[in-house]
């Protein structure tokens, strides 16, 4: 998937230099590269370091879970990856663009085209139908109405909700609402699907259903990044990054992670 | 997001909150309603002045020579004193004035006042009494409904005959024939020789409550005590150009007769329907200004209400703003969404106001003698004002919405 931008925000050479300095191979297809990103909050004169220098690189087609206890900085990292916020220091490259220096409106454009959000609380517009909710990102992308309808319908069908297009969120079950949100996240064909506790408001049966949707998306080649504090949900991903005190404390493939968890449990 | 998209969104918001929207609109609706209605009444009166009043009371291409202006506003005490000192127009002024004009010009002289008249069996009532000579009836387009007009020999002899208006007939002879009967004016009996056609009314005041007698009759002394004094000379030309030339000639003749030096101003006044209309235009301006205050207050209240409602809406919809921003809405998308919503709201209010204002104007027209005619410019102004009020009062709330941090907005509890 190539970017839709007319002009690149920064040069490829710059990006390659950053990737090299991170000890990565520039020829590989890196969707996300962060270099020493920090995020400080000024809480009434006292500076809180939410992120203390995070280096994270994610390839296209990866299915990554970001874990960590509350206060570990995973929400902050998600906001940064989701381009809802910019780092205090460090660089963030998304799909070949240097996002960390962007203005508000540029960030909005990146969110619109590169990122599909799935939230814990679904965040659907309550008065709008499922179809209209899914259309929203296309509205802000300036896609004409007919084309929007067509693409939104296709996205709903992709999550098996083609027959619920004209239902409002309160007429849908929790799992269906989350699937509408997934359809909305996918409708602009984003570089990454970014899910924040996607099963936090769902029962275990529905959680499994949503995880199956993620699994099939990942299999189809969609890059998925999921922020969660639940180990069994994170275990669905193929790579698990654990944050602690604003830094990455571990970054492992699922099998090794599962083995370590099993060992830890056996030790107790 | 396109403009149409924003309007559609605004309309769906308004539909979703019908009652709230209704109260939001109220201020603008009332303001615009009064704007339309007040302007319609003033405009209607203006048109009426031109079409009816000017023709009925003055006549086209007609001008009047008087010692002081008849249609004037804001006369100072000093001016009044100077008018009182002026020479009056006299009967012996008539011949030289008429002689200076082309022969096809119509002339008449009049003296007029409100005086009581009575019959043998009816108590006296005030009527507008005219003592006239010349072609008074032709100039004023007065025709007899029954009987006849005053004949030349009656003018010459000062015969004690009168023609009366419809109101006078109805008042004194409600059931009986008026022709040939006696009307007492200043204790002197006059024979009624004609009843005039109905003239209708001007501003709801009947213009049919009049009697007309020859200038040479004893009635003239009741209207102007000094012998030979008349109120004015009425002159009617058959064209606009003739009228203007006639006015200038009359001016020169009168200046000569009053022995004015070139440096001295006229000590008489020559008025046309234009003077009446100029007089009206002055009143109209004052009315328009007064009429604008009321709608302005309504619109101000409307603006404050809209601003408040929009601030509440922004607070209530913080989460929605966060969602939209997370999906790629830029600041200007959010700004325009709320601006368009406020503008749509108040434009709808203005549209209702226009309809209600038209209705109000129609009611005023039906219920009162005042005419009303909705001015196109007031409708355009109302629409622009409506949208403008919305944009101005929506600016601050919309800017607040646009500035919201998406992370904070998304965190808001529903």
DSSP chain A: -----SS-SS-HHHHHHHHHHTT--TTS-EEEEEEEEEEEEEETTEEEEEEEEEEEEEETT-EEEEE--TTSSHHHHHHHHTTSS--SEEEEEETTEEGGG--HHHHHHHHHHHEEEE-TT----TTS-HHHHHHHHHHHTT--HHHHHHHHHHHHHHTT-GGGTT--GGGS-HHHHHHHHHHHHHTT--SEEEEESTTTTS-HHHHHHHHHHHHHHHHTT-EEEEE-S-HHHHTTSSEEEEEETTEEEEEEEHHHHHHHHHHHHHH-
Whether residue A4 has pLDDT greater than 50: no
Q: Count Cα neighbours of A223 within 13 Å in the Cβ-side half-sphere.
A: 21
Which two three-digit tokens encode residue B149?
Answer: 């007009």
Residues of A in contact with B6 (CB under 8 A): none
Residue of B nearest to A124 (CA): B323
DSSP 3-state assignment of B86? Answer: coil
pLDDT tier for residue B398 given thresholds of 50, 70 and 90: very high
What pLDDT sits at residue A139?
Answer: 93
Q: CA angle, corner B175, sides to B174 and B180, nearest 5?
A: 85
Chains A, B: CB contacts within 8 A come to 61
Q: Who wins on pLDDT, B284 or B159?
A: B159
Q: How far is B54 from chain A (nearest CA, A)?
A: 60
Residues of A in contact with B320 (CB under 8 A): 125
Q: What is the pTM of this model?
A: 0.69
CA distances B25 to B14, B50, B86, B190, B305, Å, are 10, 37, 59, 65, 8
In angstroms, the CA A16 to CA B171 distance is 108
Report A:213-252 residues touching B (Cβ under 8 A).
none
- What domains sit in chain A, N to C, each tagged with a CATH number? 16-267 (3.40.50.300)
What pLDDT sits at residue B122?
Answer: 85
What pLDDT sits at residue A182?
Answer: 96
pLDDT tier for residue B10 given thresholds of 50, 70 and 90: confident
* Yes or no, beta carbons of B324 and A140 under 8 Å apart: yes
In angstroms, the CA B40 to CA B27 distance is 20
pLDDT tier for residue B202 given thresholds of 50, 70 and 90: low
* Yes or no, beta carbons of A123 and B410 under 8 Å apart: yes
What pLDDT sits at residue A7?
Answer: 44
Residue B258 has a CB neighbour count (10 Å cut-off) of 14
- Determine the average pLDDT of the residues in A26-47: 88
CA distances B331 to A7, B338, B359, B401, Å, are 22, 11, 42, 8
CA distances B154 to B133, B142, B182, B191, B384, Å, are 10, 18, 16, 12, 64
* Yes or no, beta carbons of A112 and B320 under 8 Å apart: no
* Yes or no, beta carbons of A140 and B328 under 8 Å apart: yes
Q: How far is B21 from chain A (nearest CA, A)?
A: 17
Residue of A nearest to B333 (CA): A140
Q: What is the mean pLDDT of chain B?
A: 86
Residue of B nearest to A125 (CA): B320
DSSP 3-state assignment of B192? Answer: strand
In angstroms, the CA A77 to CA B262 distance is 96
* Yes or no, beta carbons of A142 and B2 under 8 Å apart: yes
- Determine the average pLDDT of the residues in B252-269: 89
Name residue, tokens 């009315």.
B287
User: DSSP characters for B336-392?
Assistant: HHHHHHHHHHHHHHHHHHHHHHHHHHHHHHHHSS------HHHHHHHHHHHHHHHHH
What pLDDT sits at residue A132?
Answer: 94
What pLDDT sits at residue B141?
Answer: 81
* Yes or no, beta carbons of A119 and B410 under 8 Å apart: yes
**Percent of all residues in chain B with a pLDDT value above 90, rounded to a whole number:** 32
Q: How far is B26 from chain A (nearest CA, A)?
A: 25
What pLDDT sits at residue A196?
Answer: 93
- Determine the average pLDDT of the residues in A235-252: 92
CA distances B175 to B33, B127, B164, B169, Å, are 47, 20, 16, 9
Rg (CA), chain A: 19
CA distances B61 to B41, B53, B68, B251, Å, are 27, 14, 20, 16
Least trusted range by pLDDT, from A118-127, B128-137, B362-371? B362-371
* Straight-line distance from the first to the last Cα atom of chain A, in angstroms, rounded to the nearest whole number: 46
What pLDDT sits at residue B367?
Answer: 80
**From the list B2, B332, B406, which residue is nearest A84 (CB)?**
B406
What pLDDT sits at residue B373?
Answer: 80
A3 touches chain B (CB under 8 A): no
What pLDDT sits at residue A5?
Answer: 47
* Yes or no, beta carbons of A108 and B331 under 8 Å apart: yes
What pLDDT sits at residue A108?
Answer: 94
Domain locations in chain B as residue ranges: 3-53+291-411, 87-267
**From the list B320, B327, B406, which residue is nearest A137 (CB)?**
B327
Residues of B in contact with A112 (CB under 8 A): 327-328
What pLDDT sits at residue A163?
Answer: 94
Q: What is the mean pLDDT of chain A?
A: 89
- Determine the average pLDDT of the residues in A122-142: 93
| Tens-place pLDDT, residues A143-187 | 999 999 999 999 999 999 999 999 999 999 999 999 999 999 999
pLDDT tier for residue A1 given thresholds of 50, 70 and 90: very low
A120 touches chain B (CB under 8 A): no
Q: CA angle, corner A218, sides to A249 and A125, nearest 5?
A: 90
Q: Tell me how far the alpha carbon of residue A84 is from its chain's centroid.
A: 11
In angstroms, the CA B400 to CA B408 distance is 13
A41 touches chain B (CB under 8 A): no
pLDDT tier for residue A82 given thresholds of 50, 70 and 90: very high
* Yes or no, beta carbons of B410 and A108 under 8 Å apart: no
**From the list B1, B12, B319, which residue is nearest A140 (CB)?**
B1
Which two three-digit tokens encode residue B331?
Answer: 């600041």
Residues of A in contact with B327 (CB under 8 A): 111-112, 117, 136-137, 140, 184
Q: Who wins on pLDDT, B140 or A182?
A: A182
* Yes or no, beta carbons of B1 and A142 under 8 Å apart: yes
**From the list B326, B330, B414, which residue is nearest A117 (CB)?**
B326
| Tens-place pLDDT, residues B38-86 | 888 888 877 777 666 666 666 678 888 888 887 666 678 888 888 888 8
A84 touches chain B (CB under 8 A): yes
Residues of B in contact with A188 (CB under 8 A): 328
* Yes or no, beta carbons of B329 and A140 under 8 Å apart: yes
pLDDT tier for residue A238 given thresholds of 50, 70 and 90: very high
Which two three-digit tokens encode residue B249?
Answer: 């000639």
Whether residue A10 has pLDDT greater than 60: no
Residue B268 has a CB neighbour count (10 Å cut-off) of 22
* Length, in residues, of chain A: 268
| Tens-place pLDDT, residues B74-131 | 678 888 888 888 888 888 898 888 888 888 889 999 998 999 999 888 888 999 999 9
* Yes or no, beta carbons of A108 and B328 under 8 Å apart: yes
Whether residue A43 has pLDDT greater than 60: yes
In angstroms, the CA B199 to CA A4 distance is 80
- Determine the average pLDDT of the residues in A250-260: 80
Whether residue B237 has pLDDT greater than 50: yes
What pLDDT sits at residue A3?
Answer: 43
A142 touches chain B (CB under 8 A): yes
In this prediction the ipTM stands at: 0.89
Least trusted range by pLDDT, from B51-55, B91-95, B296-300, B313-317? B51-55
| Tens-place pLDDT, residues B334-347 | 999 999 999 998 99
In angstroms, the CA A22 to CA A35 distance is 7
């Amino acid at each position: 998937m190539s970017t839709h931008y007319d002009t690149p925000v920064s040069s490829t050479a710059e990006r390659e230099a950053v990737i090299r300095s991170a000890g990565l191979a520039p020829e590989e297809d890196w969707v996300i590269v962060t270099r020493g990103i920090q995020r400080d909050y000024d809480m009434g004169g006292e500076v809180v370091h939410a992120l203390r220098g995070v280096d994270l690189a994610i390839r296209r087609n990866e299915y990554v879970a970001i874990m960590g206890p509350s206060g570990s900085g995973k929400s902050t990292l998600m906001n940064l990856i989701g381009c809802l916020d910019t780092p205090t220091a460090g660089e963030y490259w998304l799909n070949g663009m240097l996002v960390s220096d962007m203005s508000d409106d540029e960030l909005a454009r990146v969110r619109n085209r590169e990122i599909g959000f799935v939230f814990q609380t679904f965040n659907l517009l309550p008065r709008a139908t499922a179809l209209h909710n899914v259309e929203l990102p296309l509205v802000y992308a300036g896609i004409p109405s007919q084309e929007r309808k067509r693409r939104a319908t296709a996205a709903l069908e992709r999550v098996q909700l083609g027959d619920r297009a004209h239902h409002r969120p309160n007429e849908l079950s929790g799992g269906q609402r989350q699937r509408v949100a997934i359809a909305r996240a996918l409708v602009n064909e984003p570089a990454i699907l970014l899910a924040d506790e996607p099963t936090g408001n769902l029962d275990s049966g529905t959680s499994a259903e949503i995880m199956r949707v993620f699994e099939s998306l990942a299999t189809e080649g969609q890059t998925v990044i999921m922020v969660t504090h639940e180990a069994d949900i994170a275990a669905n991903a193929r790579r698990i990054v654990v944050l602690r005190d604003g830094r990455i404390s571990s970054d492992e493939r699922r099998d090794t992670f599962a083995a370590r968890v099993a060992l830890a449990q056996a030790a107790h | 997001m396109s403009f149409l998209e924003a309007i559609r969104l605004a309309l769906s918001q308004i539909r979703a909150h019908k009652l709230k929207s209704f109260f939001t609109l109220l201020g603008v609706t009332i303001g615009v309603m009064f704007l339309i209605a007040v302007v319609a009444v003033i405009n209607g009166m203006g048109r009426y002045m031109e079409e009816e009043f000017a023709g009925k009371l003055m006549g086209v291409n007609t001008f009047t020579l008087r010692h002081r202006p008849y249609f004037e506003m804001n006369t100072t005490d000093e001016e009044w004193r100077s008018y009182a000192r002026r020479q009056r127009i006299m009967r012996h002024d008539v011949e030289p004035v008429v002689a200076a004009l082309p022969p096809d010009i119509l002339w008449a002289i009049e003296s007029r006042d409100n005086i009581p008249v009575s019959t043998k069996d009816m108590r006296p009532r005030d009527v507008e009494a005219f003592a006239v000579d010349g072609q008074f009836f032709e100039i004023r387009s007065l025709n007899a409904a029954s009987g006849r007009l005053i004949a030349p020999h009656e003018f010459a002899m000062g015969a004690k005959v009168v023609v009366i208006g419809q109101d006078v007939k109805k008042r004194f002879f409600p059931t009986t024939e008026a022709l040939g009967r006696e009307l007492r004016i200043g204790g002197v009996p006059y024979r009624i020789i004609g009843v005039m056609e109905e003239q209708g009314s001007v501003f709801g005041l009947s213009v049919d409550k009049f009697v007309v007698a020859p200038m040479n009759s004893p009635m003239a002394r009741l209207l102007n005590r000094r012998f030979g004094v008349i109120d004015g000379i009425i002159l009617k030309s058959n064209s606009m150009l003739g009228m203007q030339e006639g006015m200038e000639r009359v001016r020169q003749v009168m200046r000569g007769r009053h022995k004015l030096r070139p440096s001295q101003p006229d000590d008489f006044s020559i008025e046309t329907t234009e003077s009446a209309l100029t007089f009206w235009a002055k009143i109209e301006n004052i009315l328009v200004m007064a009429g604008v205050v009321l709608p302005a207050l309504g619109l101000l209240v409307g603006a404050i209400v809209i601003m408040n409602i929009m601030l509440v809406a922004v607070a209530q919809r913080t989460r929605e703003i966060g969602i939209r921003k997370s999906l790629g809405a830029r600041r200007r998308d959010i700004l325009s969404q709320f601006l368009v919503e406020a503008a749509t709201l108040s434009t709808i209010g203005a549209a209702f106001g226009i309809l209600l204002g038209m209705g109000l104007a129609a009611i005023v027209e039906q219920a009162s003698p005042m005419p009303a005619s909705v001015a196109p410019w007031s409708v355009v102004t109302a629409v622009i004002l409506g949208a403008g009020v919305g944009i101005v009062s929506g600016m601050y709330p919309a800017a607040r919405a646009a500035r919201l941090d998406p992370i904070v907005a998304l965190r808001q509890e529903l």
